[in-house]
Structure 1
């Protein structure tokens, strides 16, 4: 093997600083950028990578791991006794069956295609179950294998161009549901394959709503992989495509445009572009105010109720502690009808309180999130990081409460 090959931090016995440098470079971050994201200086990162500083304590290691999106805490620390998954969940019991359905190659006509109306009703029920069930991953995971096979069969059986386009739109929607389920599961390449299939099916359908949703999900995948330029390219190009359609569009297409505008703001916030982030959020807020009272988009959750939740995330992503707490106090979680979206909002509120050095309130808020939708908290890297950090707190009562919550989540299971 070439002696100038880049070391692999997942295999080689490297010092903490060397691992940090390799993982930082793989994420495309400068030392100054990484330092800013963990409230430290670029010179601190340089000293850490050069081995002039000791390995930080666990709370700061967890912050670094969160920013770098490491698969397992041991990938950063090198300590093989610290197998704690952060941004990859433990693997849902129904994941294997869903993956098998996604990976299967179905070329023949051995499966009878269901009527379009039947598929539409099943997809609607699946989205309703996702929003209403506390164990939403379990429910959706039980429905997906047959939905995937039937949606694929419907495309193959389409008799006319119009029928095929309609079937492609339903297939795209099925892939969107699968992408939600596959997120944070231990097979990152599968998430990207599903995202690409969803985009291809949406483009083949020529349905603006489906195309917008595919872009919305792809943007999130790019941003979570820290591919911020790619996230912007997808978001802004799709908004340019949708903009001339909006004056005559229905509520669902306008909601997708609003959700994409939020995504543009969240990407700007991730970059630290505070003014740009809030400008995009304000445009999305004005669009949300034009939606019918009580409207709630079944995929993106875009609505009047959720726009305040997005404000919390913008403030947190720009590391504005005081502003994030103010937004958290203004955005009422109980107004959000979806259990997983309500739980996610509670997690964002917890991030705000934790950023503002209110760890007791953060833990209490995470407990509320867990009550709303346990599986959402279990698979959320931000929630996991806060709980793990507070499980090491000096305060005995806080340490006990964090440990109890971690135990309920099965967080420390190898």
Structure 2
């Protein structure tokens, strides 16, 4: 714990404050004067220090992924499609317009289906194969660039499916291929989307990847900014989404001023978009900025501010079911930070109603539910156990 704390540049007082304990408690744990803390406290420390693998904190050699959910039944088929060497060029590749229409339907299904991973997991193997074939069979430079843009977007869709599942190597393979295809496409919007997802992958890999996350996203912003005076709504939206991601990573670092400054920049871009506009990949829109404010406050570990922002943000204004569920989870984290576990649990139940697969694969939600299954209050313990059973944490 001491090594991980020092790597993050935290004093004992800061870490203690973030986990609700005194600096002397932190010192005694680090010096071995106290026995191993409870599982609830270990998880709280792991979240604060952004530990991806509990073995880093506990010293056990077994692999225990804190933020990974279960493997989806469709994961092997998607992994096979990604890993298969695309050398066979037989068969007629679909047109770029046909691929675009399939991608549009896939994104719409992702936003509207409660079990969105199941839906897009069924679509991805065919989309991966056909988009790779389209690139290989392109006859002209323009056709090849259009096919590369579609292939990059297929890899972007794949990242949404693979994220938070127990195959980090597959996620990175898809992210890297998406970036390469985006660069080959020379399309600003495609480049922005690929950078947005790659930056998230770096950030979620832990504090030692924060600089890489910033490098990718800021490079994409520098590429897009000279173009923003004469582009369509999608390109402006991806620029806004990238601005928020810089703020998100700053919040993970504990840099409040930088985090809120980039949130403000993202909000200005959102205000320039039409009232009902909603980006099909990132969900960036006017409606999403309230949810983004909750995320910033939660990542800064401010329970009071998280609850204040949660009260201002209206989740029902978010048309995407998985994104609405994600917002409910962020709200629940804020209520938990603010010492309102009953409200946190009720909010997670709302997340489950919006999109069961989102809460099933979200490490923060799983942690809160598991903690509350051991609550002293019988009613809360019962409700937590019921939700834990629904999302597969406890046997029925």
TM-score by length of 2: 0.93
CA distance in 1, matches of 2:145, 2:166: 33
**3-state SS in 1 of match to 2:375:** coil
Q: Report whether the alignment pairs 1:198 with 2:178.
A: yes
**3-state SS in 1 of match to 2:288:** helix
**3-state SS in 2 of match to 1:305:** coil
Post-superposition shift, 1:244? 0.5
After TM superposition, the structure 1 = structure 2 runs for residues 267-278 of structure 1, keeping only pairs within 5 Å, are 267-278=249-260
Q: Deviations over 1:145-175 (max 9, x none)?
A: 0000000000000000110001000000000
Post-superposition shift, 1:48? 1.7
Match of 2:165 in 1: 185
Q: 1:71 to 1:271 in 2, by over 3 A?
A: closer
Gaps of 5+ in 2: none
Gaps of 5+ in 1: 1-19
CA distance in 1, matches of 2:205, 2:98: 36
Q: Quick check: 2:278–2:285 contact (8 Å CA) kept in 1?
A: yes
Q: Which moved more, 1:355-364 or 1:395-404?
A: 395-404
Q: Quick check: 2:325–2:350 contact (8 Å CA) kept in 1?
A: yes
Post-superposition shift, 1:29? 2.8
Match of 2:372 in 1: 390
Post-superposition shift, 1:386? 0.8
CA distance in 2, matches of 1:286, 1:31: 33
CA distance in 2, matches of 1:378, 1:251: 33
Match of 1:356 in 2: 338
Match of 1:101 in 2: 81
Post-superposition shift, 1:77? 4.6
Q: Quick check: 1:84–1:411 contact (8 Å CA) kept in 2?
A: no
Pick aligned residue for 1:132 from 104, 107, 112: 112
Match of 1:258 in 2: 240
Match of 1:207 in 2: 187
Pick aligned residue for 1:245 from 209, 215, 227: 227
**3-state SS in 2 of match to 1:304:** coil
Q: 1:198 to 1:83 in 2, by over 3 A?
A: closer
Post-superposition shift, 1:180? 0.6
CA distance in 1, matches of 2:136, 2:114: 35
Alpha carbon RMSD of aligned pairs, Å?
2.1
Q: Quick check: 2:131–2:154 contact (8 Å CA) kept in 1?
A: yes
Q: 1:219 to 1:71 in 2, by over 3 A?
A: closer
Post-superposition shift, 1:59? 2.1
Match of 1:61 in 2: 42
Post-superposition shift, 1:116? 1.1
Q: Which moved more, 1:183-192 or 1:144-153?
A: 183-192
Q: Aligned residues, how many?
A: 391
TM-score by length of 1: 0.89
